[in-house]
Structure 1
Amino acid sequence: MADVHEFSAEGWNTFEVRSLASVVHFPSGLEVKVGLMSQDREVVYREFRWPELARLGAHTPDCSYAAVVLQVPECRLTVEFASHGGSLAVRAVPTRNTGGLIPFADVFFYRGMQGKISAVGGAAYAETESMKFFVSSPSGRLDEQLTLGDAVTFAPEDGVLTLWISEDGAARSADEVAEFIEIRRKDAEEWEKRFDEHDLQSAFEGMWRSVIWNTIYAPSLGGPVTVVSRDWCVDGNYGDFVLFEWDTFFSALQTAPASRELAYNNVRAVLSGITERGFVPSIFCELGKSRDRSMLPVGAMIVWKLYERFGDRDFIAEVFPKLLGWHRWWFTARDGNGDGLLEWGSDNYPSPHPQWQAYTLQAARYESGLDNSPMYDDVVFDEQTCTMQLADVGLNSAYAMDAWALAKMAEVLGEENLRDELLEEHKNMSIRVNEMLWSEKDGLYLNRY
């Protein structure tokens, strides 16, 4: 059964990568961004990123409620968003305000999306071809000094900003907006208590909030996706989004207790970056893909765990062919010495960005995901085979796990011959790992040079 707050790519959500104090509506593209100005109406802060974060608050998948506490030298700012359908309430409250800063809200259309905003008295209308929103501030007014170009700006009369947006054209009083927010705040806090009885509540909150607040809209992908860090997708080496293979699969697993659709969304996103040779690249972003290397094959195990939670055969059928193709790629490219064990590597393909590297030992280390591990300090990179001269315990064990998880999926799909083939692969790789990488003397599995 779908969660009452199930994630959707449509509606209001905190998808704007450039500021934690913003919310965007899709498909209209209408955006609200909260900032801080001085007493003489000079803009001091228009965007807030990780350096300004004090605390991530509750955040439902559908953004029926989201809160964030920000800290700048002059004050602390608590921003709350509450939504239902096309309606949105915003409240921004400054405290410890030694600088006397005033919150304000810019309302505009996201990154050039088509729409028109018209000021009408102390309020505004925002329109697209198919949608129309009424925008007002119960505790403030439209600030003509700050309203420029295709945006309108609202500022409070009393230092506390409230904003109301609706499709029905009806205004709300400050008390009504406060009640709208309070109802959704309490509901969000109750929704988050799903692990309270197991003494894991704080762990769930930290895990979930880190995922949902790093879920952004990527124009080049045409939709939302969870990235490792939203700040990496602003004026950096990747463009408007970046996915690292195992990070994204793990984020899908982290997301599953809160949102099936966001978990599925992240699996689909990382698999959409599969290269022409059939492997999931280590890096997939707006600038391109790491066509020289993949990363630890955890995808099939993650998808199988999602199946164990949700029992969704259709999702297995959707992603299985790509996962199987990726599995079969490994022995076409990463058994440099032909001994039946895999090595990390990096092929001779140009890199979209010099920092990523390719066809070097460091690039092969990047494939492991253990970028700076001393395990690989003295390893030789073989330019003929494009692999390390080292058989890695983790990689070969993960390959065996990958075969097992794919076999489980093949069974669900009724592919009995393929299931048996994959189980045989799992068995044979397990034997090789046990016979070739186990050290009886040390009582450990050891990488082999």
Structure 2
Amino acid sequence: MPVPAGWNTWDVDTHTGMAHLPSGIRIRFGVPGFPLDGFTWRDGLVRLGHHTVDGSYAEVTVEAGGGRLRLEMAGGPGDVLYVRAEGTAGVVAEIDGWQSDRDTTGWRLDTSVPSRVPDRLEFDGEVDVFLAPAGAPGGAGDAGRVLAERRAAAECTLPRSSGWLGDAAAAATRAVTWNTIYAPDLGRVLTPTSRDFVSARRKGFYGSWALHAWDTFFTGLVASTVDREYAREIFGQILPFADPSGMVPNRVSDDRGATLDRSQPPVGALTVHRAYLASGLSAQTRDRELLSGTFPALLTWHDWWPRARRGPHGLLAWGSDPVEGDAGSGTLDRAKRESGLDDSPMYDEVTYDPATHTMDLADAGLAALHIADAEALADIATVLGETAVAQRLRAEASAARAHADELLWDTETGGYRNLRADGKYDPHVSPTLLYPLLAGIPDAARAAALADRLLRPGTLGGDPPLPSVARDDPGYAATYWRGRIWGPMAFLAIEGLRRYDLTAHVRPLVRALLRLFQTEWDTHSHVRENYPATTGEDVRTFEARSDGLMAWGGLLARLAFAELADARPDGWRFAHPGEPAELANLPLGEGRLAVVAGDRLTVSLEGRMLLDAAPGVVVSGYRRTATEVTGFAHGEGDLLVSPPGPGDPVRVCAPGPFRLATPQQMGDLPSA
């Protein structure tokens, strides 16, 4: 996370300007006759351009009143800001004190053309602006050169995609970096759910910032494809708000405080572990600090669930604790909100049990997520040397897996179901009933049969796939959690299918979801809170309840990235997606990784080729250390593998394992 210093888009209320910290000076741009803070994803935002994490380069296009404004801004660490503003109906700008009436004396403003209105910054056409403390070198005449250099640097370092992936990497990146703001009351930088969603002045629901639990963890996972340190800070930003019992609150905000009665789905350890695996090619280069910084709080949160949310049949259920002075606490509505699926039809017929403080419904999705959480925490504990904790968690996961499989499998329907307190299976179907695959609950045959059944076109399949409730469910309405397509839900369901290598199911799902993601980005510059489940539905209106710039929408892009490069517990998997594609600048501890699918599949690190494979070859379990490279080649065709040190690539025939070692390791090197 960038330190709160220098120029960046710190101000939650505007895309079209930058603020300086710690001085509090702000400059905003617009077109004549319209509010400087009026541009949101609903009102006038045309295109989000590059935005580096540190604010050293940002680009945005907006329109209002028939005029269009394009801004390039070069800020970042330090005190000097360069801006190029191009407006078809003119350009207006205002410099003031952000958050308070700060004195702007002592700052030097230089513009390429003079303002055409006395005592007001108003320009025709195009203007270059330089703003810095008095005495700082430079001026508006340097703007073109500086902006070109900063843009080139951004293109070299930010994640990049093309071909089948389109501009998905840029879209996912910008949904994170454009949402990074400064929270004055906390004195720190945050990446909230969405700057529009949280800002009251932008027609949002909170004062100026809010964090939600599972939103934050999914945002961190998306950010892990942008910058390791940036992602680490995002993952950690909500954990300090846990209550004394270890519960991570559903939401905390500046004006409404924390939800003391409820949490949100336990996806913290799962997402942290996924980000850790993707941070390097081996344990030696992965971001161990990410694990050590989050593990204590994530473990305490994990242990909170069975203490606080034991529902029917000894299984976990969503709930809400009564809180003195909070009339809404200890109710069914709040228990639904803990699920994160606020108005899902799955909970239409349930009631709240005041004795357990939970729904009277054992939830298959929650049971599976808690098991997956235990597995991820066990792996994290192993890395950190917490052997006893890892053993305890694995034993717990094994017992919970057997218990859930016994009670939640409905033989009559051939699937997992939520279980009512009266012992009857709930009939509602949603992608959460695929989560048991994420937890490894069924055997391989049962998993495949379940996927066949649930992914039929009239149920959870079709195009676009994975609506938040089955299309043949009586509660389906194609709205919000009653049918819209959500990145988190799709991610968890597809990760479960990948656990069982159900590629024939995964690939069409990922392709359809990528098209959905790309259409919204290419057409509207949106990365959505949720996506339409029916063709032609416009979800841009406020009433549609689909924020237009929410980072977790980038999970749909990340699912597609994993078709080329996927960091798994046993090592990396690299595969050709069947169409030309490129994914570059993935941030690893070793450097920037690039994967290109063309006539062949090539994987390179900082420009050095690691793998060169025929299109029919899939590499799994790939690990690379300073002394050896190991993996397994599947499929048909040839594979070239570069050794860990200097030397020519070695040809390997698929299928089979491979291991290349440095000369001092050659003694036990098997034949390839």
- Structure 1 length-normalised TM: 0.85
3-state SS, counterpart of residue 25 of structure 1 = strand
Query: Once the 2 structures are TM-superposed, how far is the Cα of residue 379 of structure 1 from its aligned partner?
Result: 0.6
For 1:170-185, list aligned pairs within 5 A: 170-174=137-141, 176-185=142-151
2:98 maps to 1:110: yes
Task: Identify the residue that residue 91 of structure 1 maps to in structure 2.
Answer: 84
For 1:188-267, list aligned pairs within 5 A: 188-192=154-158, 194-196=160-162, 199-235=164-200, 237-267=205-235
Alpha-carbon distance in 2 for matches of 1:251, 1:346: 25
Decide which of 327, 344, 348 is 2:322's aligned counterpart: 348
Given that 2:2 and 2:189 are in contact with CA atoms closer than 8 Å, whether structure 1 keeps it comes out as no
Task: Identify the residue that residue 314 of structure 1 maps to in structure 2.
Answer: 289
Quick one: which amino acid aligns to residue 137 of structure 2? A
Alpha-carbon distance in 2 for matches of 1:218, 1:111: 10
Task: Identify the residue that residue 56 of structure 1 maps to in structure 2.
Answer: 48
Alpha-carbon distance in 2 for matches of 1:358, 1:202: 43
The alignment yields a C-alpha RMSD, in angstroms, of 2.2
Quick one: which amino acid aligns to residue 45 of structure 1? P
Assess, with a 3 A threshold, how the Cα gap between structure 1 residues 143 and 280 changes in structure 2: closer, same or farther: farther
Assess, with a 3 A threshold, how the Cα gap between structure 1 residues 270 and 324 changes in structure 2: closer, same or farther: same
Quick one: which amino acid aligns to residue 71 of structure 2? V
Task: Identify the residue that residue 3 of structure 1 maps to in structure 2.
Answer: none
Alpha-carbon distance in 1 for matches of 2:227, 2:97: 28
Query: Once the 2 structures are TM-superposed, how far is the Cα of residue 201 of structure 1 from its aligned partner?
Result: 4.7
What is the aligned residue count?
Answer: 406
Given that 2:31 and 2:68 are in contact with CA atoms closer than 8 Å, whether structure 1 keeps it comes out as no
For 1:29-428, list aligned pairs within 5 A: 29-37=24-32, 44-50=34-40, 51-83=43-75, 85-95=78-88, 97=89, 102-112=90-100, 116-118=103-105, 125-126=106-107, 134-141=108-115, 144-146=118-120, 154-156=121-123, 158-167=124-133, 168-174=135-141, 176-192=142-158, 194-196=160-162, 199-235=164-200, 237-286=205-254, 287-310=256-279, 311-337=286-312, 339-349=313-323, 357-428=328-399
Quick one: which amino acid aligns to residue 377 of structure 1? D
Assess, with a 3 A threshold, how the Cα gap between structure 1 residues 334 and 443 changes in structure 2: closer, same or farther: same
Given that 1:155 and 1:161 are in contact with CA atoms closer than 8 Å, whether structure 2 keeps it comes out as no
Given that 1:340 and 1:432 are in contact with CA atoms closer than 8 Å, whether structure 2 keeps it comes out as no
Given that 1:49 and 1:231 are in contact with CA atoms closer than 8 Å, whether structure 2 keeps it comes out as no
Alpha-carbon distance in 2 for matches of 1:244, 1:427: 30
Alpha-carbon distance in 2 for matches of 1:229, 1:15: 13
Superposed CA deviations along residues 130-186 of structure 1, whole A, max 9, x for unmatched, are: xxxx3221222496534xxxxxxx333x43232102355234244x21222122223
Name stretches of at least 5 consecutive residues in structure 2 with no aligned partner: 280-285, 421-672
3-state SS, counterpart of residue 260 of structure 2 = coil
Given that 1:104 and 1:161 are in contact with CA atoms closer than 8 Å, whether structure 2 keeps it comes out as no
3-state SS, counterpart of residue 295 of structure 1 = coil
Query: Once the 2 structures are TM-superposed, how far is the Cα of residue 229 of structure 1 from its aligned partner?
Result: 2.1
Given that 2:214 and 2:265 are in contact with CA atoms closer than 8 Å, whether structure 1 keeps it comes out as yes
Quick one: which amino acid aligns to residue 85 of structure 2? A
Question: Is the deviation greater in 103-112 or in 423-432?
Answer: 103-112
Superposed CA deviations along residues 261-292 of structure 1, whole A, max 9, x for unmatched, are: 22122112111211232111111111211111
Assess, with a 3 A threshold, how the Cα gap between structure 1 residues 49 and 350 changes in structure 2: closer, same or farther: farther
Given that 1:411 and 1:419 are in contact with CA atoms closer than 8 Å, whether structure 2 keeps it comes out as yes
Alpha-carbon distance in 2 for matches of 1:371, 1:441: 29
Superposed CA deviations along residues 374-419 of structure 1, whole A, max 9, x for unmatched, are: 0110011112221100011110000001111111111111111111
Alpha-carbon distance in 2 for matches of 1:207, 1:245: 19
Alpha-carbon distance in 1 for matches of 2:130, 2:22: 19
3-state SS, counterpart of residue 261 of structure 2 = coil
3-state SS, counterpart of residue 90 of structure 1 = strand
Alpha-carbon distance in 1 for matches of 2:170, 2:155: 10
Query: Once the 2 structures are TM-superposed, how far is the Cα of residue 16 of structure 1 from its aligned partner?
Result: 0.8
3-state SS, counterpart of residue 112 of structure 1 = coil
Quick one: which amino acid aligns to residue 250 of structure 1? F
Given that 2:31 and 2:87 are in contact with CA atoms closer than 8 Å, whether structure 1 keeps it comes out as no
Quick one: which amino acid aligns to residue 103 of structure 2? K
Assess, with a 3 A threshold, how the Cα gap between structure 1 residues 350 and 188 changes in structure 2: closer, same or farther: farther
Alpha-carbon distance in 2 for matches of 1:34, 1:304: 41
Given that 2:236 and 2:293 are in contact with CA atoms closer than 8 Å, whether structure 1 keeps it comes out as no
Query: Once the 2 structures are TM-superposed, how far is the Cα of residue 62 of structure 1 from its aligned partner?
Result: 1.6
Given that 2:9 and 2:55 are in contact with CA atoms closer than 8 Å, whether structure 1 keeps it comes out as yes
- Structure 2 length-normalised TM: 0.57
Decide which of 4, 8, 25 is 1:13's aligned counterpart: 8
Superposed CA deviations along residues 116-141 of structure 1, whole A, max 9, x for unmatched, are: 322xxxxxx33xxxxxxx32212224
Alpha-carbon distance in 2 for matches of 1:440, 1:387: 26
| Runs (4+) off by over 4 Å | 141-144
Quick one: which amino acid aligns to residue 143 of structure 2? V
Kindly, what percent of the aligned residue pairs are identical? 35
Assess, with a 3 A threshold, how the Cα gap between structure 1 residues 412 and 64 changes in structure 2: closer, same or farther: same
Name stretches of at least 5 consecutive residues in structure 1 with no aligned partner: 1-5, 38-42, 119-124, 127-133, 147-153
Alpha-carbon distance in 2 for matches of 1:47, 1:155: 16
Alpha-carbon distance in 2 for matches of 1:217, 1:143: 33
Query: Once the 2 structures are TM-superposed, how far is the Cα of residue 351 of structure 1 from its aligned partner?
Result: 7.4
